[in-house]
Chain A
Amino acid sequence: AQTVTQSQPEMSVQEAETVTLSCTYDTSESDYYLFWYKQPPSRQMILVIRQEAYKQQNATENRFSVNFQKAAKSFSLKISDSQLGDAAMYFCAYRISYSGGGADGLTFGKGTHLIIQP
């Protein structure tokens, strides 16, 4: 079974600084997707960034970037120029590549609570 581990229950960063959230995962699959989701107090799940395992290039989305190390099964999220609106729970998630059978929901880590200090 796949597992996703986020070892930082809480992180705090000064506004405008950079913070990195860590995530490791375990899988025997070679083709899969990794995600970072943001869950603000509204509890709406918001996709931050997505990485396909077969792509060596790290995904980036504006101030958000990942460091994907496939051999180490590590997938960290870097947030640059942190803003107050970035404060939220961040979940790392894994999914096997589309199998056609439909049984491929997301496996989430336990989450990291990110606090932005003004």
Chain B
Amino acid sequence: GAVVSQHPSRVICKSGTSVKIECRSLDFQATTMFWYRQFPKQSLMLMATSNEGSKATYEQGVEKDKFLINHASLTLSTLTVTSAHPEDSSFYICSARATGGNEKLFFGSGTQLSVL
């Protein structure tokens, strides 16, 4: 089955530093990738939609300058949390949709970000 690799799985950083999270589709090409955030005991909230070769579309209330998304190839999207603060601590999950526009989405295993 299709696999989406997300890493790191866990990262601890100091306040003010930047952290990059990678999301790779290993055995398929993903024209669209999605980034979600999940706070403890809460649901997943869509942050942004990333289309290969174009700017990401951010959901209302998500700061695009703080959460930089790059989707430079059909198999890789990155989320960079810039100048991270403790309130950015959360579980971040990516998902990818295969080229062709079918409805199947594949999720990464998530990244737990802890900002000290």
Contacts and interface: CB of A to CB of B under 8 A. Distances in A.
Contacts of A91: 43-44
Interface string A32-60: 01000000001111010010100000000
B34 A106 contact: yes
Contacts of A102: 31-32, 49, 51, 57
A43 B110 contact: yes
Given A43-B110, A106-B44, A33 B103 contact: yes
Interface string B79-116: 00000000000010101000001110101011000000
Contacts of B110: 43-44
A53 to B, nearest CB: 11
A102 B105 CA distance: 12
A23 to B, nearest CB: 12
Interface string A104-115: 111111110000
B73 to A, nearest CB: 16
Interface in B20-50: 31-32, 34, 36, 38, 42-46, 49
Nearest to B51: A102
15 contacts: A42-B109, A43-B91, A43-B93, A43-B109, A44-B107, A98-B102, A102-B31, A102-B51, A102-B57, A105-B34, A105-B36, A105-B46, A108-B43, A110-B42, A111-B43
